[in-house]
């Protein structure tokens, strides 16, 4: 069977890379090559930005009435629905996310996102008339919300389509145009989306340039004619992109890494907390920015909770992402798997004890994939490498605390600030703790929950700005104020003109 090519999509057409180079895309569960992606360069980015700029200036797109945009977004949702299973299968095959999660959360979420933004723009105030004031003179004043222009997106491999659409849909809902570079590990669904919506959009509105970060990502984030960058990925790359964007003052939003703490309160129900903590960290093998990787546990609950965590972890099924019974699949790449194992080894050297897991697993029929056992580490302190840095693997660290004050201090003692959680029977006390956590999201007795109408993003080095909800829409809007004077006789403007004009007529 021939291996498919994943090319670029520029100005409404599938095109080969200017320099003709391709790289391999692997199925992370088996290691086999499943596609060759176009290895783009700055020349491809230039073509895409030119197409996006022309599309932005196209009056058909710029002046599209809101009602038409609403209808367009619903039609896009319809296309996702029509290609639902194909998109899910491509997503699972390239990212290693489980079919159960992709079909029940990612893909329904993606199409709901289109409908949610369609509803949002119906009622959004794009033009606001301000009340007339007499000082310094009556004047007609309007505040406009306008598109930013050409928006560059750079997305990661863990939830590829949804993390693209959470940027793309509000961007096009507000009249911007897009150049996106998906992760070179997972280029399938972004290109597929561009293809299945091609006839709905004027050419150039969505452009996909495949390739690596240093080649294509760098060219997008340094391009003089790109107005905005929306990035999801690691904090290290996010910082580099932030610095690039400063050169031309591009608008920036960054969704970055996390080291999210779960505070187990002294009254927590052991069984419910164990299920919640394991869900919070093991979902997608811990390869989610929001993963709850640090469990902060009071001394009195420590031993029974760890015992239950080990029992619950033992129930998980690791392996084939296409099996609906699978809890989680492979690490994204063997290199990433080795990195996760390195964290576990260093934690042991630092004094952590492996309560369960801690090893690479071999799955029959999937020997080419890198799977890691559900791992729970105890005797972890907050100054260890395993507590300070994002692992992005199925590794839960358990840290003891003496009182809730100390738990809050440990929770906040990190450079990250993405998610946080509280496990308790006392939701009133939890509200107080939630207010003191330095994180963009706090769950009380849950994890990973997100709504399309609520903002998602991080404090501190977990990001800059928010996606989703109205803030997600406003990520793609610039504000302009237009003042119109009614006064046609210059001398009647003496209160303002008088600063300069000492005589009239």
Kindly tell me which of 9 and 392 has the beta carbon lying closer to ligand NAD: 392
Question: C-alpha distances in angstroms, 115 versus 80, 81, 145, 235?
Answer: 11, 12, 21, 31
In residues, how long is the chain?
Answer: 505
Token representation of residue 351: 């004094």
Dist. CA 248–CA 225, nearest whole Å: 9
Quote the least distance from Cβ 286 to ligand NAD, whole Å: 10
Kindly tell me which of 149 and 160 has the beta carbon lying closer to ligand NAD: 160
Quote the least distance from Cβ 257 to ligand NAD, whole Å: 3
Kindly tell me which of 28 and 463 has the beta carbon lying closer to ligand NAD: 463
Quote the least distance from Cβ 83 to ligand NAD, whole Å: 23
User: What backbone torsions phi and psi does residue 173 show, to the nearest 5 degrees?
Assistant: -65, -25
Q: Minimal CA–CA distance to 395: which of 367, 372, 418, 412?
A: 372
Q: What is the 3-state secondary structure (H, E, C) of 16-27?
A: CCCCCCEEEEEC
The conformation of residue 318, written as its DSSP 8-state character, comes to: B
Rounded to 5 degrees, what angle do the CA atoms 484, 490, 496 make? 70
Rounded to 5 degrees, what angle do the CA atoms 341, 284, 439 make? 90
Would you tell me which residues interact with ligand NAD (CB under 6 A)?
154-158, 163, 181, 183-184, 212-214, 217-218, 221, 232-234, 237, 240-241, 255-258, 289, 390, 392, 418, 458, 463
Residues with catalytic annotation?
Answer: 255, 289
Q: What is the β-pairing status of strands 251-255 and 353-356?
A: unpaired
Rg of the chain's alpha carbons, rounded to an integer? 25
Segments in 404-500 forming alpha helices (H): 404-412, 427-436, 469-474, 494-497
Kindly tell me which of 175 and 258 has the beta carbon lying closer to ligand NAD: 258
Kindly tell me which of 61 and 153 has the beta carbon lying closer to ligand NAD: 153
Token representation of residue 152: 């560059």
Residue 460 neighbours by CB distance under 10 Å: 17
Quote the least distance from Cβ 19 to ligand NAD, whole Å: 17
Q: Which residues contact 493 (CB under 8 A, 6 or more apart)?
A: 137, 485, 487
Kindly tell me which of 233 and 298 has the beta carbon lying closer to ligand NAD: 233
SS3 287: coil
The conformation of residue 425, written as its DSSP 8-state character, comes to: S
Dist. CA 106–CA 102, nearest whole Å: 5
Question: C-alpha distances in angstroms, 284 versus 90, 318, 329, 335, 419?
Answer: 16, 10, 7, 17, 16
Dist. CA 239–CA 242, nearest whole Å: 5
Kindly tell me which of 240 and 302 has the beta carbon lying closer to ligand NAD: 240
Token representation of residue 329: 């699949």
Kindly tell me which of 215 and 373 has the beta carbon lying closer to ligand NAD: 215
Q: Crossing angle of helices 84-95/188-196, nearest 10°?
A: 160
């Amino acid at each position: 069977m021939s291996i498919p090519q994943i090319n670029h999509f520029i100005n409404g057409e599938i095109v080969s890379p200017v320099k003709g180079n391709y790289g391999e895309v692997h199925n992370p569960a088996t290691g086999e090559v499943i596609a060759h992606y176009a290895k783009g360069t700055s020349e491809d980015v230039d073509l895409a930005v030119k197409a996006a700029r022309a599309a932005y200036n196209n009056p058909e797109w710029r002046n599209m009435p809101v009602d038409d945009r609403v209808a367009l977004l619903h039609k896009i949702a319809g296309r996702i629905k029509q290609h639902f299973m194909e998109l899910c299968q491509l997503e699972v095959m390239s990212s290693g996310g489980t079919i159960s999660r992709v079909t029940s959360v990612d893909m329904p979420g993606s199409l709901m996102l289109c409908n949610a933004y369609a509803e949002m723009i119906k009622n959004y105030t794009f033009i606001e008339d301000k009340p007339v004031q007499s000082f310094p003179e009556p004047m007609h004043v309007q505040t406009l919300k306008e598109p930013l222009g050409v928006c560059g997106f750079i997305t990661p491999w863990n939830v590829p389509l949804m993390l693209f659409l959470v940027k793309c849909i509000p961007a096009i809902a507000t009249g911007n145009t897009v150049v996106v570079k998906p992760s070179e590990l997972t280029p399938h669904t972004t290109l597929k989306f561009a293809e299945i919506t091609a006839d709905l959009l004027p050419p150039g509105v969505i452009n996909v340039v495949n390739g690596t970060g240093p080649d294509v990502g760098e060219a997008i984030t340094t391009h003089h004619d790109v107005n905005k960058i929306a990035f999801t990925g690691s904090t290290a790359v996010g910082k580099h992109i932030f610095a690039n964007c400063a050169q031309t003052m591009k608008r920036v939003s960054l969704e970055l890494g996390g080291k999210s703490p779960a505070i187990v309160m002294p009254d927590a129900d052991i069984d419910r907390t164990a299920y919640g903590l394991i869900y919070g960290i093991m979902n997608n093998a811990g390869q989610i920015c929001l993963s709850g990787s640090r469990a902060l546990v009071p001394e009195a609950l420590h031993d029974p909770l760890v015992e239950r965590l080990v029992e619950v972890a033992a129930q998980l099924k690791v392996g084939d992402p296409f099996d609906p019974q699978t809890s989680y699949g492979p690490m994204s790449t063997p290199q990433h798997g080795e990195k996760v194992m390195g964290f576990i080894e260093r934690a042991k050297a630092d004094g952590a004890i492996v309560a369960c897991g801690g090893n690479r697993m071999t799955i029959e029929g999937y020997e080419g994939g890198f799977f890691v056992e559900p791992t729970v580490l105890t005797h972890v302190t907050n100054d260890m490498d395993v507590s300070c840095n994002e692992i992005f693997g199925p590794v839960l660290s358990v840290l003891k605390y003496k009182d809730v004050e100390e738990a809050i201090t440990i929770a906040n003692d990190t450079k990250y600030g993405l998610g946080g959680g509280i496990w308790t029977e006392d939701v009133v006390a939890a509200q107080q703790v939630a207010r003191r956590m330095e994180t963009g999201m706090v769950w009380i007795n849950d994890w990973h929950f997100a709504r399309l109408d609520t903002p998602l993003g991080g404090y501190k080095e977990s990001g800059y700005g928010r996606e989703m909800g109205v803030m997600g829409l406003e990520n793609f809007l610039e504000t302009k104020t237009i003042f119109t004077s009614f006064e046609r006789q210059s001398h009647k403007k003496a209160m303002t003109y008088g600063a300069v004009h000492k005589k009239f007529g």
